[in-house]
């Protein structure tokens, strides 16, 4: 009996599965966090790949160098595309917070986001933290792993994707990112817009009043109150967006097959 770890075909399958899972650690929420040590990421990646290999192999894999290089590159692209379908969700949450910060006036203050190691705004950071907590509370990390593992049945290791589908997925991910950001920030942005209208009307009625000094704290109070009041809606919306993203990942795995 041949020990699986010594079988060249098993080693090739492990490398290809590892290549697809690697997209998690570039785009997926939580897994792509720079605060997660590289050694821990490598250990998680290796364990996930070892656990998935037995169910991922559906046919004999080529052992020559050129074919393996093509398959490995293809698996990297597929993994990036699948992870991006879900990873854009937290980016949309951060963009939503940045939109609110710009409207309120908090964009002048920036913070260092420990998850992405980039500069972010105050409410953008708050929304990212809340979004990460909601993602974990909704078991999003387990659903993401299960969904990505199931793609090996929908899109086998030996299959090659349709290039046009990959390009469409990238465009749709960017478009969906801004659409989701606007949907998340819309209730707060509407309340701030109404506040701007009210301040404008008061300035027309009382021209001598120094509304510039009053308008900023008023908008800050209204903005923070609106953020607090809409947090339950934010959690519900994020849960719906997560479900759509996971469904979209499975649909993408099917649509990648050439027609």
Question: Which domain, by its residues, includes 11?
Answer: 4-256
pLDDT exceeds cutoff 60 at 4: no
Q: How many structural domains does the chain have?
A: 1
What are the tens digits of pLDDT across the range 76-87? 888 888 888 788
Residues 136-172 as b/e (b if ≥16 CB within 10 A, e otherwise) read: eeeebbebbbebbbebbebbebebebeeebbeebeeb
CB 9 within 8 A of CB 61: yes
pLDDT at 8: 73
What are the tens digits of pLDDT across the range 26-67? 888 888 887 888 898 899 999 988 888 887 776 677 777 788
Residue recorded with tokens 């997660």: 36
Token pair for 133: 């907590």
pLDDT at 1: 40
What is this structure's pTM? 0.76
Predicted confidence band of residue 89 (pLDDT cuts 50, 70, 90): confident
CB 148 within 8 A of CB 24: yes
What are the tens digits of pLDDT across the range 155-174? 888 888 877 777 777 777 77
């Amino acid at each position: 009996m041949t020990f699986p770890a010594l079988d060249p075909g098993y080693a090739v399958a492990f490398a290809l599965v590892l290549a697809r899972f690697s997209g998690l650690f570039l785009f997926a929420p939580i897994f792509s966090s720079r605060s997660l040590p590289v050694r821990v990421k490598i250990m998680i990646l290796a364990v996930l790949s070892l656990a998935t290999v037995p169910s991922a192999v559906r046919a004999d894999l080529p052992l020559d160098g050129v074919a393996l290089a093509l398959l490995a590159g293809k698996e990297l692209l597929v993994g990036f595309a699948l992870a991006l379908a879900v990873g854009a969700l937290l980016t949309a949450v951060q963009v939503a917070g940045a939109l609110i910060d710009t409207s309120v006036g908090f964009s002048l203050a920036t913070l260092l986001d420990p998850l992405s190691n980039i500069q972010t705004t105050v409410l953008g950071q708050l929304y990212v933290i809340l979004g990460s907590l909601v993602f974990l509370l909704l078991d999003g990390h387990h659903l993401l792993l299960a969904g990505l593992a199931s793609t090996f049945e929908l899109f086998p290791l030996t299959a090659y994707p349709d290039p046009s589908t990959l390009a469409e997925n990238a465009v749709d991910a960017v478009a969906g990112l801004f659409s989701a950001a606007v949907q998340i920030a819309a209730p707060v942005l509407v309340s701030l817009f109404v506040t701007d209208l009210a301040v404008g009307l008061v300035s027309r009625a009382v021209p001598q009043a120094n509304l510039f000094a009053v308008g900023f704290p008023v908008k800050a109070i209204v903005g923070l109150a609106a953020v607090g009041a809409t947090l339950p809606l934010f959690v519900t919306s994020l849960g719906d967006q997560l479900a759509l993203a996971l469904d979209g990942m499975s649909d993408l795995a099917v649509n990648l097959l050439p027609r």
